[in-house]
Amino acid sequence: MAKGHVMVLPMPCQGHVVPLMELSHRLVDHGFQVTFVNTEVDHALVLAAMAPGGGAALRGIHLASIPDGLAGDEDRKDLNKLIDAYSRHMPGYLERLVGEMEAAGRPRVKWLVGDVNMGWSFEVAKRLGIRVASFWPASAACLAIMLKIPQLIEDGVLNDKGWPERQETLQLAPGMPPLHTSLMSWNNAGAPEGQHIIFDLVCRNNKFNDLAEMTVCNSFQEAEAGAFKLFPNILPIGPLFADGEFQKPVGNFLPEDARCLKWLDARADGSVVYVAFGSMAIFDPRQFQELAEGLELAGRPFLWVVRPDFTPGLSQAWLAEFQQRVAGTGMFVSWCSQQQVTPNPQTATLIRVT
């Protein structure tokens, strides 16, 4: 019999879905039943990308979905628009889903493990008598700088809109990486005119996080001792892996192209440049061509993840000609297993989204 029923809710972005799916597999390994809630759009992508027979490997994880509040043809790569919509519409849909599961005879949800960026869900959970654990999928240092926003405003480093008052490099605590005030994540995550949406979300989530009984982070003590000393209440549980053989589905939005692993094995150690910009980044044709030509001029083997929607309007004739020129050194895939590529001894350099 399962120890309890846990609902898991990621932010609707690939880099948030994967680590929470990995955590879900670990929860199942420890005897819990999990309901993993994606948006309807992401749910459809996950099902379509899953390898044949992948559903059987989900043992103990039930996949569910709710609307994100956007119309079917609206741009979900526009992070400002996506955040604004899901923050307003998803609370009601989540509460309805919990009621529907109970009415269908599913065990009552005892815990919500929710992405810090979905802080509104903590309020829904508390209203329904569900205990809350918040989850941060990235580095503890990144979470720490967001939790320190009130102090940074008080110290005059930021104004109350999140923009820097001073151009300087700061360090929150000994052992933590320095950060220039121009590089605050909420000021560099979307179009400038929508910055206030992301900054408001971060500030609201800081308050919602107080509703959680614990905060867990996909990092580890040895990597970020300074950040965990600054916030000793953040529990490191990373790095997360679903399984050592990489056989369990982790919620990819696109099918993984495993050919790149054999291609990597044929390259010299420490020689390959790995280029990947996640599930949200969009390049215009000029940016794509500049990066492509830079990789060609570098003369190093490279593995480049190019999603089908990565560069709308890119000349396919130009791309085909470029791929011919670099056929001996470059490989293009639409998606791959980052956890298998990055620790590979052939991988020397990463160019990726931050």
In percent, the amount of the chain with pLDDT more than 70 equals 99
pLDDT value, residue 51? 83
pLDDT value, residue 146? 97
What does the pLDDT average to over 139-163?
A: 96
Closest CA to 58 of 33, 25, 35, 29: 25
CATH of 5-236, one of 3.40.50.2000, 3.40.50.300, 2.40.30.10, 3.40.50.970: 3.40.50.2000
Q: Is the dihedral angle over the CA atoms 108, 114, 118, 119 positive or is it negative?
A: positive
pLDDT in tens, 74-100: 989 888 899 999 999 999 999 999 999
Average pLDDT, the chain: 94
Cα 292 from Cα 312, distance rounded (Å):
15
CATH fold match for the domains 5-236 and 259-352: yes
338 has pLDDT over 70:
yes
What does the pLDDT average to over 139-154?
A: 97
pLDDT value, residue 164? 96
Residue with tokens 């060609």: 296
Written as six digits, the tokens of 108 are 């009552």
Residue with tokens 């008052």: 165
pLDDT value, residue 283? 93
Assess contact for 140 and 228: CB atoms under 8 A: yes
pLDDT value, residue 1? 57
List the beta bridge partners of residue 127: none
pLDDT in tens, 154-212: 999 999 999 999 999 999 999 999 999 999 999 987 778 888 989 999 999 999 999 99
Q: How confident is the model at residue 354 (pLDDT cuts 50, 70, 90)?
A: low
Longest CA–CA span in the chain (Å) reads 61
260 burial type by CB count under 10 A (0-12 exposed, 13-18 middle, 19+ buried): buried
pLDDT value, residue 35? 98
The pairing of strands 169-170 and 179-180 is antiparallel
Q: What string of H, E and C letters represents the secondary structure of the chain?
A: CCCCEEEEECCCCHHHHHHHHHHHHHHHHCCCEEEEEEEHHHHHHHHHHCCCCHHHHHCCEEEEEECCCCCCCCCCCCHHHHHHHHHHHHHHHHHHHHHHHHHCCCCCEEEEEEEHHHCHHHHHHHHCCCEEEEEECCCHHHHHHHHCHHHHHHCCCECCCCCECCCCEECCCCCCCCEEHHHCHHHCCCCHHHHHHHHHHHHHHHHHHHHCCEEEECCCCCCCHHHHHHCCCEEECCCCCCCCCCCCCCCCCCCCCCHHHHHHHCCCCCCEEEEECCCCCCCCHHHHHHHHHHHHHHCCCEEEECCCCCCCCCCHHHHHHHHHHCCCCEEEECCCCHHHHCCCCCEEEEEECC
Q: How confident is the model at residue 222 (pLDDT cuts 50, 70, 90)?
A: very high
pLDDT value, residue 55? 80
Written as six digits, the tokens of 203 are 């500030």
Cα 116 from Cα 185, distance rounded (Å):
15
Domain range summary for the chain, segments of one domain joined by +: 5-236, 259-352
Residue with tokens 């720490």: 144
Cα 292 from Cα 219, distance rounded (Å):
32
Closest CA to 344 of 247, 243, 263, 278: 263
What does the pLDDT average to over 262-281?
A: 94
According to CATH, the topology of domain 259-352 is Rossmann fold (3.40.50)
pLDDT value, residue 63? 97
- Residue 236: asked if its preceding bond is cis (omega within 30°), the reply is no
- At 132, the amino acid letter reads V
What's the half-sphere exposure (Cβ side, CA atoms, 13 Å) at 19?
22
What does the pLDDT average to over 124-133?
A: 98
pLDDT value, residue 136? 98
Q: 154-159 long-range contacts, Cβ below 8 Å, gap at least 24?
A: 157/181, 158/184
pLDDT in tens, 94-128: 999 999 999 999 999 999 999 999 999 999 999 99
